[in-house]
Amino acid sequence: MNWPPRKKAFEGPTVYDVQQATVNGRYIPPERRGADPRIAAVIRRALRVSRKERYQSCDELLRDLEAVRASLVGSRGGTSGMGKVLLAAGAVLIGGLGFFAGYGVHEWSGSGALAVAAADLAVLRPIDLVQSPPPDLATPRRSRRSTPPDLAAVSVPDLATKTLPPGLWPLPPLPATARRPALIAVEAGSCVMGSSTSDESPPRAITMSHGFYVADTEITRAQYRAVMGTSQVADGTWIKKLQLSPADKQRLPMADLTWFDAIRYCNRLSALERLPPCYQFNGSSVEWPAKHACLGYRLPTEAEWEYVALAGSSTPYPGSAVLDDVAWTGLNSGLHPHPVKQKRPNGWGLFDLAGNIAEWVWDDYTPYLADALVDPINEERPLESKPCRVLRGAGWDEIRPTRFRVKNRVCFAPDQVASVHGFRIVRTIRATP
């Protein structure tokens, strides 16, 4: 298989690309990338392992970067090697993930909420300034601070329920933890959901009114174990027979799960991360009272799943017109699951949306409504006589290419277990007003 070339850390044409490459790429010391030693010192402090040794505020980081900028402007030949200016942007974005608490925008401190904007203000512009100073950086510091989006006027709780000011997209992803995958920030937007085919009709333009984080992979065995406990995960005979290292076996997507198992994981992960649980159990049923306004972890809706799978494209499969590029299927998998992130991601950087395992979503298997156009949720209008919840993406045992299409939907009873049923999680960034 021809893999796409792996990006080096701190390289990319845009701030978002730099951040992605810095998080996912191979770390190379800044000095070896041609960075000026003064910039390298700032980068190293931003990347300190100990949080106490990192920058504690944007003000502190801006102060050091201003000093570096002044010395570079004032020293002849100080701009050598500055073609690698995105090194510094990578450092600040890593800082935004690390020394500013490491959570979503709505959870950052007032100063930390400026991290992404500060990457542009404090790094890209000062470095470009070395060659031709823009007027805004020649102004006093007080007026300069008004350049980023005005988050200071938005209280921290409000950030969860109000549209974020322009300029904060794309937000940096939240790094993976032992309990969950990395979370990719997806902005509100629109897509055409459905098709003219049977249960996929009618096709209609829908709108996601809220931004949300989505896991870049399905929940793995290791992550599920970390949240639900070792008793919940046993290595069956078929897993023990796989020719995989113990580490790779833990990177397999967690399967053999009911829809209820996925719901319980979401609630427990929310509690562990001190977020409000989204779901309430009422006897044998589950309720989602706050809907998209809930800021805890949850399953995606069908609409959210299709929106992120399309990622603005029109390809039949998530991220490609060639199924083998993006999916483990019954024709290439050897009839067993594979560790996550071995196929190409889609345009949002999401892996394994097609193939490997099918993914539970929240919705009932119900007909689409032609007039449900904003944040649609399919509930309580069943196509089946018994409860049936939707799965998307198909699994490693499926040989019919049509089952891997972005638009395809199937359903199973929520208490049914299968070796190809798993899930990925989402989390609202900004709730519907």
**Domain coordinates in residue numbering, the chain:** 15-160, 183-428
Per-residue confidence (pLDDT) for residue 279, from 0 to 100: 97
- Contact status, residue 354 vs residue 323, Cβ threshold 8 Å: yes
Give me the numbers of helices (H) and strands (E) for the chain, helices first please.
13, 12
Per-residue pLDDT of the chain (433 residues; tens, 9 = 90+): 444 444 444 555 554 555 555 555 545 555 555 667 787 788 878 877 677 777 887 778 888 887 877 777 665 444 444 433 434 444 444 444 433 333 332 233 333 323 333 333 333 333 332 333 333 323 333 333 333 333 333 333 333 333 444 444 668 899 999 999 999 999 999 999 999 888 998 999 999 999 999 999 999 999 999 999 976 666 666 677 788 898 999 999 999 999 999 999 999 999 999 999 999 998 888 999 999 999 999 999 999 999 999 999 999 999 999 999 999 999 999 999 999 999 999 999 999 999 999 999 999 998 898 888 999 998 865 555 568 999 999 999 999 999 999 999 999 999 999 999 999 999 999 644 4
Stated length of the chain: 433
Burial class (CB in 10 A: 0-12, 13-18, 19+), 77: exposed
Beta strands in 251-322, from DSSP E residues, in sequence order: 280-282, 285-287, 297-298
Per-residue confidence (pLDDT) for residue 209, from 0 to 100: 93
CA atoms of 185 and 172, how far apart (whole Å): 7
pTM, two decimal places:
0.63
- Class (C level, CATH) for 183-428: alpha beta
Tokens 């203000």 appear where?
121
What is the C-alpha end-to-end distance of the chain, expressed in Å? Answer: 47
Per-residue confidence (pLDDT) for residue 115, from 0 to 100: 36
- Indicate the helix (H) or strand (E) that contains 305: helix 302-310
Per-residue confidence (pLDDT) for residue 102, from 0 to 100: 34
Per-residue confidence (pLDDT) for residue 382, from 0 to 100: 54
Identify the three-state secondary structure at position 191.
strand
